[in-house]
């Protein structure tokens, strides 16, 4: 069996509801947020396109992905010599261009079929963000995406890293993007009682009553370790391993006791070659829904014991960006390593006595000596994903 190659994180780009750009995003994670939607305010897509017309022909989720990719590419040192057949992209989305679809359905109903945009199909395709990134940077290797609901962003990073570790690529743009805070999506999630009735995201809190819908994107530039070292790139973190599995239980509810999440975390740790005792931080999926938080807490306790490593959910600030959530959270872990601090679970105030007593970081950031960390994502349909990240200094 061919030895796995190490995967370095050499660039991070973020378009988040609490900040555009990785440093603004990090600052936002340390402040409280409010409102029943977490939107990316003040975003201007035009700098990332040749002209305004080209920008209008891309859905908002593709615009987000290009902006995040541009920031990550710049931090990576813009290694154009690595573009070509051994460079790829894996930019995931849970829903794709739903906003464009809704807009054009309105056009169809109001003005007739001849007025529907011929650009609708490429705008709404869930793979259009990854395709746009590949064309922008000349990535002629695999250009794929994962559509696995709220686990899509984590799966994008895990699958992108495997392209490098397995020897298929030397450079990969990996992450997720979502811009599905649309009237139909909000109505649908609200009618299935998934959204918070009071517009507050309270992960693991006894009064949690649903998630706050959000949008955003995050992209990591991944590179084969020795390649990054040889060209003098700053290695921000390392993708140590990942895992993906299915509950095979219910279209929306997690498996009882978090059984699928338990298997997923254990598989990711095995892939990374580490034990639960090695993990120093858990970035939780932590959506603020009653069933999901309970299943995840039970799963974490089963794998790590109680109180276990420090755990936090950034969704108290960001809300839930669906298919982009895992990418935003992986980016936050890399930023945590850079800032040597764990962001708090804002919105968490009162522990749920029915849940295991975990070490939840709350109210304020906690100083942290970076070590192996995991980031979890669990999506509708029973999709589970875990990525294991380590510091980049070793």
Query: What residues pair up with 213 in beta bridges, in sequence order?
Result: 37, 320
**Alpha-carbon distances of 349 from 34, 236, 298, 330, 345, rounded to whole Å:** 15, 32, 19, 24, 9
**Alpha-carbon distances of 203 from 12, 200, 344, rounded to whole Å:** 25, 10, 11
- Give the separation between CA 354 and CA 180, rounded to whole angstroms: 33
Are 264 and 387 a contacting pair, CB within 8 Å? no
Q: Which one of 143, 150, 169, 264 is the catalytic residue?
A: 150
Is 285 among the catalytic positions?
yes
Query: What residues pair up with 392 in beta bridges, in sequence order?
Result: none
- Give the separation between CA 292 and CA 246, rounded to whole angstroms: 15
CB atoms within 10 A of CB 199: 15
Is 169 among the catalytic positions?
no
- Give the separation between CA 288 and CA 182, rounded to whole angstroms: 21
Q: Which one of 155, 169, 264, 320 is the catalytic residue?
A: 320
- Give the separation between CA 385 and CA 242, rounded to whole angstroms: 7
Are 236 and 392 a contacting pair, CB within 8 Å? yes
CB atoms within 10 A of CB 353: 7
Are 270 and 328 a contacting pair, CB within 8 Å? no
Is 249 among the catalytic positions?
no
Are 312 and 345 a contacting pair, CB within 8 Å? yes
- Give the separation between CA 59 and CA 142, rounded to whole angstroms: 22
- Give the separation between CA 287 and CA 144, rounded to whole angstroms: 26
**Residue 144: HSE in the Cβ half-sphere, 13 Å Cα cutoff:** 16
Are 227 and 170 a contacting pair, CB within 8 Å? yes
Are 42 and 219 a contacting pair, CB within 8 Å? no
Q: Which one of 155, 271, 285, 383 is the catalytic residue?
A: 285
User: Residue 149 — left, alpha, or beta (φ > 0 → left; ψ -120 to 50 → alpha)?
Assistant: left
Residues with a known catalytic role: 150, 285, 320
């Amino acid at each position: 069996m061919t030895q796995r190659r190490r995967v370095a994180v050499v660039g991070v780009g973020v378009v988040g509801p609490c900040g555009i750009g990785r440093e603004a995003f990090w600052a936002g994670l340390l402040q409280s947020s409010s409102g029943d939607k977490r939107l990316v305010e003040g975003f201007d897509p035009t700098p990332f396109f040749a002209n305004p017309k080209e920008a209008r022909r891309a859905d908002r989720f593709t615009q987000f992905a290009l902006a995040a990719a541009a920031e990550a590419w710049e931090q990576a040192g813009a290694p154009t010599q690595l573009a070509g057949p051994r460079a790829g992209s894996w930019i995931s989305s849970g829903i794709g261009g739903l906003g464009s679809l809704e807009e054009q359905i309105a056009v169809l109903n109001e003005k007739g079929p001849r007025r529907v945009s011929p650009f609708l199909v490429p705008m709404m395709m869930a793979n259009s963000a990854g395709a746009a990134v590949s064309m922008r940077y000349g990535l002629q290797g695999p250009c794929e995406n994962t559509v696995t609901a709220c686990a899509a962003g984590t799966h994008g990073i895990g699958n992108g890293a495997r392209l490098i570790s397995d020897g298929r690529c030397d450079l990969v743009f990996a992450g997720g993007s979502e811009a599905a805070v649309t009237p139909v999506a909000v109505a649908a999630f609200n009618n299935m009682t998934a959204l918070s009735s009071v517009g507050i995201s309270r992960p693991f809190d006894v009064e949690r009553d649903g998630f706050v819908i959000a949008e955003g994107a995050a992209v990591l530039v991944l590179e084969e370790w020795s390649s990054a070292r040889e060209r003098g790139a700053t290695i921000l973190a390392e993708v140590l391993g990942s895992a993906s599995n299915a509950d095979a239980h219910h279209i929306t509810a997690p498996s009882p006791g978090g059984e699928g999440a338990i298997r997923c975390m254990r598989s990711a740790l095995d892939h990374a070659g580490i034990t639960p005792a090695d993990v120093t931080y858990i970035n939780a999926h932590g959506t603020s829904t009653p069933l999901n938080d309970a299943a995840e807490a039970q799963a974490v306790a089963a794998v790590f014991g109680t109180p276990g490593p420090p755990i936090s959910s950034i969704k108290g600030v960001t809300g839930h960006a669906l298919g982009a959530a895992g990418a935003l959270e992986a980016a936050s872990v890399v930023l945590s390593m850079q800032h040597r601090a764990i962001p708090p679970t804002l919105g968490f105030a009162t522990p749920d006595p029915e849940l295991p007593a975990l070490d939840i970081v709350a109210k304020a950031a906690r100083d942290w000596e970076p070590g192996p960390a995991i980031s979890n994502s669990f999506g509708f349909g029973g999709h589970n994903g875990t990525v294991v990240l380590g510091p980049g200094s070793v």
